[in-house]
Structure 1
């Protein structure tokens, strides 16, 4: 008797592209008029200007073209995916070179000896660091570089790759959800809403703190459970594959010592990530400069260890090949947005949201607003793209309902941050799960209770402030 097997992430994304394409045959096509916003440097929709336009239903050919266009064809709200995909391949090559030296494996062995009995405290500390990155500069795509670094560490500590996804994706994600000074979410949204970004800071910090605490407790409980009973891991049947990719050479006796060359490699390794964080957070770096940094570090490690040109090239290419599937997923995920925009569906959904908000009480208004932003986040996962699209329409509606515009900004960023913890159209989610070899449906099984908790925290906080105003 055949048993049902949940489809892979590739199939899920293709089915979503087909579903959205089918929607373009049913949902009326429409657009808002747009004007240039000098502050944002982008065109924004004008409230009250929505009108239906000629439909452009997407067919079978468009469905197969969408993933290709997702790689290189920027739309109104997203950048092309090719830069992220290339960065992932370069990260794979860099990690291949580092792994060849044996420095990571030996370093993990030594670290586990020193941390024995205290491994669990890595979870809240690392999640706090990632949350700071998410809250201050919107850490997202660059977090993909940390998976292959943390997975062998956590597996050696007795956990699984789901714990690593929890640390990175939930850590950075809760930071973005509770953004304080994030220029790609809070600042852009506040500018589009025509208010100072400091308004509403106290509420956003409260959501950040309580959300982070909920995520830490949730991940630590799961980690403790599967460390005591590994068979309870939701990826227990994938353990052999994960161990083979990330831990096949890890020393288990704890006696191996780092050579001088390996110590140099670890220093270069750590400095590379430190420079990347500095570049992104303070110098405005994006994928091209980050990719160049990892290539330069790979070459430097090759020289330090006298690896040789032939060996270096082979291990770099093999490392990139290991993450090829991740790069492909990123392009496919972006294809959903391509279909949405080509079929002129995005503005229609926004217009329906605009109509549904009229005549509501303060509490109902802000919670319906939150729900609309949740829906829009599935189709526009980019925090900056969603802010530019929705804030010029939604923020003025708050004036008629007696709700502060800063509460609308908080509802937007909380909704976007919540959805992007599991959104299949968000490359960071699908890419991270692919690197960690965590099937998408297993991640949903793991995270859904936490999503309910976070949703209650957000909606409760928004409702209380709406009542007070």
Structure 2
């Protein structure tokens, strides 16, 4: 993304180290240089276009597809917890509804409306984080973390990935990465790494936990309910999967972070001017004189704990999602800002500044949604689902589970939502598994493995693109980091599916 990270704006309001203070010797190794990268000769050859161009081309392909693919639909019926699911026996042809010129021109605005929750949540996170930064609390907390991990910096990475994975595997909210990233960036940069490392810690941790879904109600729970098997059964194998994904993700992220610490120029976004702006802001590290929080700052943190507790309770047990989370973060922002001593006008201006810093990422969310809007309006989405299911049905039994995994991975491009994909595909995949002698438990696992890792791969995933924007990492740069890990995770997933198939896991 080219959008400025929410932690990089407003540098004039952030206190830096006092004149003459030195960075502790144990923090000097790996602290990036603050000078801008020298300009070298321009490289010729292919260059990834802006993400807007990529998504516009995908929207155009979706529009063309509505003219080429026959229109079919499944009837929708009430499923578990009142959710609408498809009736697998109701597939039939319907009148074609190809995309017209006006439909295509309005696809992006309609995508923004459809993705309104994610767009608004992105704005709120960007604005709220800027307000908290203005209070000085982040700088004080940063100083303490730097001192705590000064001699074991790399240990912070697997610890945080494990914590985020554990939370996600219990409550199933990958979107919490949007909350983690703004807080991680100043800490990770001050320890000598870069924004890719911070984004990776949040996205890999939440994705590993969400994918394994030991007690995840959004993918495991709903998928098993639709498949007609006991909710959260098979937790043992899923726990082993969780540990495997976390270990691989931690090793890959630590490997990259160690390389950046040794040579900042080797980082994937070293040449990004915005990254250098953030480094100048945060790479000074802790001063020799420890920072101390004021009484008002401590009181603000104490008062914020009940708000955070209520938010976690609402998400985990009351079905709260982005709208409710956004409201709670607005409340949190006001409490921390007012108690810390910021006036209403200062809070408002900081909030506006933070929202501006994530503007591009918020808009990308809506642009990405336009692809699914066109396929749904063109009545070809169900046709695609049916064709993918038919492709799986022709596979030998030993490869059927792997085929289901491939289908779910491909389909997640157009519906990058755990619950959304479950209600569309699982009513078909569950009975298909019976015909292919694949246990329904394995079919659910194939759905989880196809859904989770691709959520941080495809540009049509709204929350993922918003996370990259908040972190200041362009999508193509992220791909260079993530694709090798994605391949490793895919191989692990295939291994687990084959083992489940051979053992008759149920």
Task: Calculate the TM-score normalised by the size of structure 2.
Answer: 0.86
Counterpart in the other structure of 2:275: 242
Q: CA deviation at 1:92?
A: 1.9
Q: What per-residue deviation string (whole Å, max 9, x for no partner) do you get for residues 251-302 of structure 1?
A: 5451352241333445456665454333312333222322222222222223
RMSD: 2.1
- What SS class does the counterpart of residue 35 from structure 1 fall into? strand
Name the SS for the 1:284 alignment partner: coil
Q: 1:159 to 1:278 in 2, by over 3 A?
A: farther
Instruction: Specify the SS of the correspondent of 2:98.
Output: coil
Equivalence for 2:438:
403
| 1:212 paired residue among 246, 265, 282 | 246
The correspondence for 1:371, drawn from 392, 395, 406, is: 406
1:381 aligns with 2:381: no
Pick the aligned partner of 2:375 from 340, 350, 364: 340
Of the three residues 26, 31, 56, the one matched with 2:73 is 31
Contact conserved, 1:108 with 1:153, CA < 8 A, in 2?
yes
CA distance in 1 between counterparts of 2:361 and 2:152 reads: 32
Distance across 2 between alignment mates of 1:44 and 1:316: 40
Contact persistence 2:412–2:454 (CA under 8 A): yes
Closer, same or farther: CA 245–211 of 1 in aligned 2, 3 Å: same
TM alignment of 1:422-433, pairs within 5 A: 422-433=457-468
Q: Distance in 2 between matches of 1:158 and 1:26?
A: 52
CA contact (8 A) 1:242 1:436 kept: no
SS in 1 for 2:502: helix
**Is 1:374–1:419's contact at 8 Å kept on the other side of the alignment?**
yes
Report the equivalent of 2:490.
455
2:57 pairs with one of 3, 11, 15 = 15
Secondary structure of 1:5's aligned partner? coil
Moved more, 217-226 or 305-314: 305-314
Unmatched runs of 5 consecutive residues or more in structure 1: 73-79
Distance in 2, matches of 1:42 and 1:279, equals 19
Residue 185 (structure 1) shift: 0.7
The alpha-carbon distance between structure 1 residues 106 and 241, as it changes in their structure 2 partners (threshold 3 A), is: same
Distance 1:28 1:267 in 2: 59
Secondary structure class of the residue paired with 1:116: coil
Q: Is the 8 A contact 1:36 1:42 kept in 2?
A: yes
What is the CA–CA distance in structure 1 between the aligned matches of 2:279 and 2:70, rounded to whole Å?
48
The answer to whether the aligner puts 1:330 opposite 2:365 as a matched pair is yes
- Per the alignment, residue 302 of structure 1 pairs with 337
In 1, distance between residues paired with 2:157 and 2:409?
Answer: 28
Contact 2:268–2:477 (Cα < 8 Å) also in 1: yes
Shift of 1:198: 3.2
Q: Distance in 1 between matches of 2:233 and 2:397?
A: 18
Q: 2:152 aligns with which of 105, 118, 134?
A: 118
| Superposed displacement of residue 384, structure 1 | 0.5
> Does structure 1 residue 93 correspond to structure 2 residue 135?
no
Q: 1:258 & 1:305 partners in 2: Cα distance?
A: 14
**Cα 1:364/1:429, change in 2 over 3 Å:** same
Q: Any idea what the Cα deviations from partners look like across 1:302-348, whole Å, max 9, x if unmatched? A: 32233223222211211222122222111112221111101112111
Write out aligned runs for 1:32-71 (5 A).
32-37=74-79, 39-71=80-112
Q: Tell me whether 117-126 or 98-107 shows the greater mean CA deviation.
A: 98-107
Q: Post-superposition shift, 1:56?
A: 1.6
Give the structure 2 partner of residue 317 of structure 1. 352
d(CA) in 1 for partners of 2:166, 2:58? 33
Answer with 257-266 or 383-392: which moved more: 257-266
User: How many residues were matched structurally?
Assistant: 460
Does residue 1:416 correspond to 2:451, yes or no? Answer: yes
SS in 2 for 1:130: helix
Which residue among 173, 177, 181 is the counterpart of 2:215? 181
User: Which runs of no fewer than 5 residues in structure 2 stay unpaired?
Assistant: 1-41
